[in-house]
Structure 1
């Protein structure tokens, strides 16, 4: 049975959540820096391959059980495509046309799409009135972020915004697949396998599109690659599971609201990005929608939030839909 006790946020947990927000918020700036010298698919390739290598080294060092059976290869490929390869590529491509801060705001809609997709495909995730209201508020926020001009024509900026929204939908589909078929694996192993599967998809296309890397990149680009692969993928995943176990899925999802301010600030400092007021208004509505979804905002006539059985990832970096360790029937770590 999953742990239904509402866990409290300690100062240490809040500090780790803030650290994750900085790490994942910084990934949007890192994408923009890397795009200055590297193609879209190569940026994603460096990220998923580097993250997979570091995570697998950590798994062997910790003595965690490795996956067995050829069917795991297919599962990792599906997870890698829907939860990493496709959404990462859409986000990085979209950032060629829109600011980092706007990309981070639109990406926050992942939580909205995740709840809607889970209600459609997962029997234990009913679409209650509270959830429906939260989704509606969130979608209004998305429309406000995108702006009415996007409805009149598909210029590069509009396509960039739609690409990031497409990434959010892809994350939600990857979340559902993982919850349905890969609940029995240790979550760290699932994350490593997902990144390895994403590498198998991305690397051939990256070489075909961009050619073999020459590795003569500038120091800032190498720093961006390091941040994306080692910090925002491997290290962040390890912190992710520690914080998730301490605070629970409901509290953890609040990190979604902490990422855009970090990305907006970094984009403004590094590139002088200035977002329109509609983007901030849209983020405010997205935030309200997420708070309603999680029961943090009490509304009359709506049922209180039930404790989630497993987290649906609400950001582009977290291993989407990988269940809380206590919600799985896996051996305990040594």
Structure 2
């Protein structure tokens, strides 16, 4: 990946690190499926307004409606629902570790379903370093989360599998602007979630959440979803599905740094060690550092 794509990946990781914080606030007041509907509907509306302001006709891409529906199902409806449901029973640390396994599933699936993203020693070594770095960074605190219910752990792992398949499917949309792909995905997700919410519990209660919860919901919809998926599809188009999935290794780092900045939490030795391992993993996957080290020195 180019330096600009790596910058986009780090920015996306920072944004999605904040999404766990926003979701944790909202999911205790708003039912998980209703929160998914709020998140995708707000994002879809914002993206349609953006396209109108830019003079881009979304209707011109209507032939991709089926593909957008598949993306919405795999990239939003299924994983958002499973993650929010799992978050009601799991600690954030364990969920971060399980979520960080996404690149492993992506590289395995990409090996079988693509011709240009085959498994390699660099990728496997780098991903394993990143996952191990996440475990180190979360530290002993994750042990309290290991007693969570099995169904919640399976839900989060199923969400990571869904993300992996979505990353592969997203490669088919390389010729479409990322803003249009994100809009199509969110629009389809909203249309899918409306009957799901109605059948599962009726219309959401708009009066229940207070201002703080609504602030978290709109942050989820606008920043962690609308803007984030524009970045995501831009990364997929430039760097491929496996590289885009690496963002889940950056997310725990950004979540901990956000806690340090906004919640007054202190960084410990395990945090720096975990971040170093994750950085080493990303550099290993990138390959350029190893190539430079293996290059024979001129005498």
User: Is the TM-score greater than 0.5?
Assistant: yes
Q: Which residue of 2 aligns with 1:232?
A: 224
Gaps of at least 5 residues in structure 1 are: 1-5, 304-334
**Mapped pair 1:201 → 2:192:** yes
Paired with 1:76 and 1:122, the residues of 2 have a C-alpha distance of 20
Task: Identify which range, 292-301 or 188-197, moves more after superposition.
Answer: 292-301
Q: Using a 3 Å threshold, how does the CA distance of structure 1 residues 144 and 24 change in structure 2: closer, same or farther?
A: closer
Q: Using a 3 Å threshold, how does the CA distance of structure 1 residues 117 and 145 change in structure 2: closer, same or farther?
A: farther
Higher normalized helix content (fraction of residues): 2
Q: Which residue of 1 aligns with 2:2?
A: 7
**Mapped pair 1:212 → 2:203:** yes
Q: Using a 3 Å threshold, how does the CA distance of structure 1 residues 299 and 106 change in structure 2: closer, same or farther?
A: farther
Paired with 1:78 and 1:299, the residues of 2 have a C-alpha distance of 38
Deviation for aligned residue 1:213 = 1.6
Q: Using a 3 Å threshold, how does the CA distance of structure 1 residues 271 and 40 change in structure 2: closer, same or farther?
A: farther
**What CA deviation, in whole Å up to 9, does each residue of 1:123-181 have, x standing for no partner?**
1112223234335556667898999xx9xxx96444333322221111110111222x4
Q: Using a 3 Å threshold, how does the CA distance of structure 1 residues 155 and 240 change in structure 2: closer, same or farther?
A: closer
Paired with 1:42 and 1:193, the residues of 2 have a C-alpha distance of 20
Gaps of at least 5 residues in structure 2 are: none
Structure 1 contact 26–266 (Cα < 8 Å) conserved: yes
Deviation for aligned residue 1:118 = 1.1
Q: Which residue of 2 aligns with 1:192?
A: 183
Deviation for aligned residue 1:188 = 1.1
Match of 2:30 among 38, 53, 70: 38
Q: Using a 3 Å threshold, how does the CA distance of structure 1 residues 252 and 178 change in structure 2: closer, same or farther?
A: closer
Q: Which residue of 1 aligns with 2:67?
A: 75
SS at match of 2:290: coil
Structure 2 contact 253–275 (Cα < 8 Å) conserved: no
* RMSD, matched Cα: 4.2
Q: Using a 3 Å threshold, how does the CA distance of structure 1 residues 279 and 166 change in structure 2: closer, same or farther?
A: farther
Match of 2:100 among 105, 108, 117: 108
Deviation for aligned residue 1:68 = 4.2
Paired with 2:274 and 2:135, the residues of 1 have a C-alpha distance of 7
Paired with 1:98 and 1:280, the residues of 2 have a C-alpha distance of 24
Paired residue total: 289
Structure 1 contact 109–286 (Cα < 8 Å) conserved: no
Match of 2:287 among 292, 295, 299: 295
Q: Which residue of 2 aligns with 1:318?
A: none
Q: Which residue of 1 aligns with 2:154?
A: 162
SS at match of 1:298: helix
**What CA deviation, in whole Å up to 9, does each residue of 1:98-128 have, x standing for no partner?**
2234423432322232222111100111222
Q: Using a 3 Å threshold, how does the CA distance of structure 1 residues 177 and 21 change in structure 2: closer, same or farther?
A: closer
Q: Using a 3 Å threshold, how does the CA distance of structure 1 residues 269 and 236 change in structure 2: closer, same or farther?
A: same
SS at match of 1:131: helix
Deviation for aligned residue 1:283 = 7.6
Q: Which residue of 2 aligns with 1:87?
A: 79
**What CA deviation, in whole Å up to 9, does each residue of 1:52-71 have, x standing for no partner?**
11111111211224354765
